Amino acid sequence: MDLGAFSVSLAVKDLQASRRFYEALGFTSFHGVAAQNWLIMKNGSHVIGLFQGMFPSNILTFNPGWDQAAQKLPSFTDVRELQKQLKQRGLKLVTEADESTTGPASFMLTDPDGNMILVDQHV
């Protein structure tokens, strides 16, 4: 099962302080809008998202349809198909994508330790 590009979405208290910290670790901003309190940063193939005031905790994020540079893939498994496969495997979802739609959609689930996982398709 290919869930798409992987990143960690960090719930930060101060976007600019977090940006400076991760820049010191070698990350550079390549997407996002600081004025809207979010940035996507990259160091090699490692991707993190900094989100101030948007999430209560950190989230593991997968983006079907994107590569690690946030570029659209020529083919991928749609988020609704991934959702269907996970439900068939007995996983319980916290939120679900509307299976009657196409295009961008998302769903969420938690792992056994309560870590949130977001599968978020933008294409």
* DSSP assigned state of 89: T
pLDDT at 55: 92
Its pTM stands at 0.92
Q: At 63, is the pLDDT very low, low, confident or very high (cuts 50, 70, 90)?
A: very high
Spatial neighbors of 31 by CB under 8 A, at least 6 apart, are 39, 40, 70
Nearest to 120 by CA among 91, 80, 69, 84: 80
Tokens of 113: 């330790």
Taken in order of first residue, the domains within the chain and their CATH numbers are 5-121 (3.10.180.10)
Nearest to 97 by CA among 116, 76, 118, 112: 118
Look at strands 116-121 and 38-43 and give their pairing.
unpaired
89-109: average pLDDT: 98
pLDDT at 35: 97
In tens, the pLDDT along 34-62 reads 999 999 999 999 999 999 999 999 999 99
